[in-house]
Structure 1
Amino acid sequence: MEKYFIGIDHVQVAAPANQEDLARAFYAEKLGFKEITKPANLARKGGVWFQIGQQQLHIGVETNFEPAKKAHPAFAVHNATEVRKNLELQEVEIIYGDELEGADRFYIYDPFGNRIEIIEWL
């Protein structure tokens, strides 16, 4: 089966209902992700989608929402130091975790409590 898989198309994180504007403020305005249009048949369910490089991030509405405690997307960046500084200027809390050899990484949380890893491979 391995020969059929070519990469990750998208990652989805959950959010409470009717929080699309908050998702846009964080993911589009603070992180700079480009919002993309959801297909009409899915748009009525709520949520919002973003393009990041060749992949997408889908923010999906979940009834009885609870953020994941450990599961998280990891976004690869160029110049983690500058990304960190920019986020700090926007008052996004930076959380440091275990060191990872060959990487500069840190964590942030979206407005819904979803953990996000920011990583630069050195």
Structure 2
Amino acid sequence: MRTPTFAFTRLHHVQLAIPPGGEEACRSFWGGVLGMDELEKPPALAARGGCWFRGGGVEVHLGVEQDFTPARKAHPGILVSDLRGLADTFAAAGVEVTWDGEFPGHDRFYAADPFGNRLEFLEPRS
């Protein structure tokens, strides 16, 4: 294997697909429930619809896909502090969580965005 001349520094963003007209549901979920800040999209990209959010070093882009199908297997894995607090926040908002203790050294659960896209949240065990 060759030695690369580059180095990965961090993940810039994750993009998830949403159906046409799904922006307000995204704002309610990513901005309202999760408390992330909505970013202004560049004008050329804003014309395509969708919306972007950032919070705690995580950036999520929600892009409109005409023939939308939710991602049920592919998903972002997001590290959090106070995983149980996030689960309580989701419960208060009516978002179901599914706990899974199979990831070594971490507590984790799965949830879904308003369109059924799978989301994984993890917290290292102390």
- TM-score when scaled to structure 1? 0.93
What do the CA deviations read for 1:60-110 (whole angstroms, capped 9, x no partner)? 001100011210011111111111112111111011235212111001101
For 1:4, what is the secondary structure of its paired residue?
coil
2:35 to 32, 36, 58: 32
Q: Which residue of 2 aligns with 1:46?
A: 49
Seen in structure 2, the aligned counterparts of structure 1 residues 27 and 102 have a Cα distance that, compared at 3 Å, is same
1:2 Cα shift?
A: 6.4
Q: For structure 2, which runs of at least 5 residues remain unmatched after alignment?
A: none
Greater shift after overlay, 35-44 or 54-63?
54-63
Percentage identity across paired residues of the two chains: 40
Q: Is the 8 A contact 2:100 2:107 kept in 1?
A: no
Structural RMSD (CA): 1.3
For 1:64, what is the secondary structure of its paired residue?
coil
For 2:122, what is the secondary structure of its paired residue?
strand
Q: Which residue of 2 aligns with 1:85?
A: 88
Aligned amino acid, residue 120 of structure 2: E
Seen in structure 2, the aligned counterparts of structure 1 residues 24 and 96 have a Cα distance that, compared at 3 Å, is same
Q: Which runs of 4+ in 1 moved over 4 A?
A: none
Q: For structure 1, which runs of at least 5 residues remain unmatched after alignment?
A: none
1:15 Cα shift?
A: 0.3
1:94 to 77, 94, 97: 97
Seen in structure 2, the aligned counterparts of structure 1 residues 89 and 2 have a Cα distance that, compared at 3 Å, is farther
Q: Which residue of 2 aligns with 1:118?
A: 121
For 1:51, what is the secondary structure of its paired residue?
strand
Seen in structure 2, the aligned counterparts of structure 1 residues 4 and 101 have a Cα distance that, compared at 3 Å, is closer
CA distance in 1, matches of 2:45, 2:56: 22
Q: Aligned pair 1:15/2:15, yes or no?
A: no
Aligned amino acid, residue 60 of structure 2: L
* Larger Rg, first or second structure (1 or 2): 2
